[in-house]
Amino acid sequence: MSAPPAGEDVLLLPDAAALADLAAYVGRAKRVDQDGAARLVGHGDVLAAYVSPVHGGAGPTVLGLRTTALARPSEVDVTVSLASLNDRFARLRALPGGPRPAPDDAGPAAPGGVELPLPPTPATNASWAGVAPPRRGWQALGLVPLDVLEQVVRHGVAEVADGTPPGAGASAVARLRGMVWGRPLLGESGGAGAADAPAGLAFAAEALGFLRDGMPAALYRSGPWTRLTTSAGHVLARRPALP
């Protein structure tokens, strides 16, 4: 494999399966946020990939987080468009025989790894990427059954669809989405500590494929942030700051 252009970040994933998993996650994010972005943060041998299925419209900012093992440690921190990442995945799939293993001189952990060259141009329309959720200090609030989450998503999607007339402007749609996905996830039954968990957590978890296997999701809180976690990934929300 030829060397990447000078100045271009390259991630080394363990294998083609890890590459396909990351590509599927990015593809799901793009389906709900066509012009969106992903923030990719390396923490040693772990890559944290953030996306934002819900933001704007005076509603909550909801992030998706999926972690991926790296075959070579990285300290990368870049925000790039989902479209440019999708293009990179498509190019790798189009190579004869699929994604190629990293060359032998790519590093001590390289054998069997697959290189992912990152787009060199950063995204400029992702204001949400400037604020990172906390990594520690989360307080467990309890479990949320899968059927409750699925019901929240069905009702919210239907309300957004019914409330969006033909020709509605982007700002009007964003305000409606902000209102619908900003409502309390658990309504009045949420109890103390869960009131700040917005319905957008359920929408983001479903959109990103995190609701699986019929298992409940765990709800956590840390300061102004709430987090919904399943075995497939995390969704995190921060309420908009008060004026």
pLDDT of residue 186: 84
What predicted TM-score, i.e. pTM, was given to this entire model? Answer: 0.88
Domain contains 133: no
Task: Name the residue range of residue 181's domain.
Answer: 139-238
pLDDT of residue 6: 39
Domain contains 85: yes
pLDDT of residue 100: 56
CATH number at residue 88: 3.10.150
DSSP assignment letter at 104: G
Domain contains 150: yes
- 21 in the same domain as 110: yes
Domain contains 46: yes
- 120 in the same domain as 20: yes
Domain contains 91: yes
Q: Which of 68, 240, 207 is nearest to 228 (CA)?
A: 207
pLDDT of residue 71: 95
pLDDT of residue 168: 74
Q: In angstroms, rounded to a whole number, what is the distance separating the alpha carbons of residues 2 and 9?
A: 14
- Token pair recorded at residue 41: 């943060």
In tens digits, what is the pLDDT along the chain, a chain of 243 residues? 334 443 458 999 999 999 999 999 999 999 999 999 999 999 999 999 999 999 988 889 999 999 999 999 999 999 999 999 999 999 998 876 556 555 544 454 445 689 999 999 999 889 999 988 998 999 999 999 999 999 999 999 999 999 877 777 888 888 999 999 999 998 755 555 677 899 999 999 999 999 988 889 999 999 889 999 999 999 999 876 544
- 226 in the same domain as 150: yes
Cα→Cα distances 193→131, 184, 196, 202, Å:
22, 11, 7, 17
- 14 in the same domain as 114: yes
Domain contains 2: no
- 144 in the same domain as 119: no
Domain contains 131: no
The structural domain count of the chain equals 2
